[in-house]
Structure 1
């Protein structure tokens, strides 16, 4: 990754875009990709779709723009904001983190006094934006306003760290593959989806409209390489993980084998991923209409659904290479 690519990734991950509020990140991606596609459009759900036309099969590549966040549910007389979650937010992860609302207002997540931390739940927590009264708080934040976690992009050696790597790193890989593929025999639909974190909703409607012959999601996955981690044969730095299964799908054998064969043919390191829970946009794509052969290129990621998600630069580079080489092939199943 060169400096321009790192700058692009920094802008992607630091952008605001919780589920259902993807306008800012969508506008940024649209500006980045508009000169590399034959057609760029936004559907009624809010998905951004970039098309590279070709004579062959319709291939849908999905990476979700949205990130987890919180939503204001009430404001008390002292100006403290009660909230609920948008997507998978752990109270233990959220505690004392900073959050940012769409207008740039920053708050800190605090909690009521608890005798035992095991009792910590989101309904025992609040956001402090520095307001001294309900009126002052409501001048900045209203019920229904949504915030993302606030953190900056950092590179430490080979590791890249930020909030929203899930799944802006997938968006980055899709963008770089879109730029890299020059002449594909297939018709490529790069879809930057909305509302994945709350039920793969954007991918479901986009896939119905596109009616693809094959689907590929690009998303993060967990690792088993930290101390006493849940047993999982995926490590940071060992290459992109080719999904075998998760809780939402069993990868289609033809797609899985295409990925493996492509990685072997181009000496791209890869891993095989079996995830016992969770899912990706492919979980929706493969059930579209009469069914779509689908698979996933997964980027190993530590500390998923936290403000400090960590991926390997080498894994990202190899994921771009793998996706590009797949899309350059004449796919015939």
Structure 2
């Protein structure tokens, strides 16, 4: 889990994924025939196959974050969100800015906490004036929540496991694959949290015959949670539908059959909100057979996202098996 820890703790909000990209390139370079970064920042690791068919795998490198919009005369920083950030999750959190400064998120006095909104919040970096703040940061600076990764039995907990957990699965799968039947493109995408942007451009470039995204998904196994047939530790989930895609039956059925043949636990996922990189990939060019292997995750878009090590390991097995898809 040391690799997952390093991935989780890397700084990489949408549009600023380079620290994550550089680290991933180091990990995958010995295990592929070529690795390169495109103009948008996607990392594409290529492994040559025997056929002329192309399979694309996608896991996004970016995490949700904050962007500085204004500096108060006392040095407090106003901000907006990058991706789906909850003000209630942010309150009292420590954040790290791109420049290295650490701050604390707080809010103006509110008589009714239900009225807490991002525009009522600020970051305190411990200065007393606007001029002091401007010596450290500038408008447009980005920040992420600062939180350490840890293990708790079978559970791994940390920030940005959406989707560094998916990146981990792809890296580990790439290490295991030798002499693939088809040409494989493992794409570590950018800007998923703000609109699936990296996946869209990468899919256009690669023009795959089949694509599978690996991302986290919500669960229904916590007290009084939204009713959902996915639980932590019960195996990777094979997506049926979310708001961005109706998974093609060819892909869903293939993944189910692979899981059965491997005798690994799996779940079927119907997500009533959200989407993944496959949402952009499957409508690229003339259309692509696309699906998703989902990692069950508690507390998504919080500083303490939780996944199961056994789910991650079984997801690796499923991805490796999917490379043998019969066209």
Runs of 4+ in 1 over 6 A off after TM superposition: none
Select the residue among 27, 30, 33 that pairs with 2:25. Answer: 30
In the alignment, structure 1 segments of 5+ residues that lack a partner are 1-5
**Match for 1:19 among 14, 25, 31?**
14
Q: Any idea what the Cα deviations from partners look like across 1:115-165, whole Å, max 9, x if unmatched?
A: 100100000000011111111111111110001111000101111000000
Task: Name 1:232's counterpart in structure 2.
Answer: 228
Tell me if the contact between 1:186 and 1:331 (Cα under 8 Å) persists in the aligned partners: no
Residues 58-94 of structure 1: CA deviation (Å, up to 9, x unaligned): 0000000000000000001111000000000010111
Asked if the contact 1:171/1:192 (under 8 Å) is kept, the reply is: yes
Residue 118 (structure 2) aligned to one of 122, 134, 137? 122
Asked whether the 8 Å contact 2:99–2:137 carries over to 1, the reply is no
TM-score (norm 2): 0.99
SS in 1 for 2:231: coil
Find the counterpart in structure 2 of residue 294 from structure 1: 290
Structure 2 residue matching 1:269: 3-state secondary structure = coil
SS of equivalent to 1:35: helix
**Where does residue 326 of structure 2 map in the other structure?**
331
Residue 87 of structure 1 is matched in structure 2 by 83
5 Å matches for 1:167-178? Answer: 167-178=163-174
Correspondent of 2:68 among 67, 72, 81: 72
1:265 paired to 2:265: no
TM-score normalized by structure 1? Answer: 0.97
Uncovered stretches (5+) of structure 2, i.e. residues with no partner: none
**What does the per-residue CA deviation read over 1:22-47, in whole Å, with 9 as the maximum and x for residues that have no partner?**
11110010011111110101111110
2:55 maps to 59
**Is residue 306 of structure 2 the alignment partner of residue 320 of structure 1?**
no
> Does 2:3 correspond to 1:8?
yes
2:199 aligned with 1:218, yes or no? no
Tell me if structure 2 keeps the 8 A contact 1:299–1:315.
Answer: yes
Which whole-Å CA distance do the structure 2 matches of 1:105 and 1:37 have between them?
Answer: 37
1:286-321 deviations in Å (ceiling 9; x for gaps): 000000000000000000000100001110111111
Residue aligning to 1:140: 136
CA-atom RMSD in angstroms: 0.7
Output the CA distance in 1 between the equivalents of 2:25 and 2:125: 32
Tell me how many residue pairs correspond in the alignment.
Answer: 326
Q: Distance in 2 between matches of 1:15 and 1:51?
A: 24
**Does residue 1:41 correspond to 2:17, yes or no?**
no
Partner secondary structure for residue 34 of structure 1: helix
1:330: how far off?
Answer: 4.4
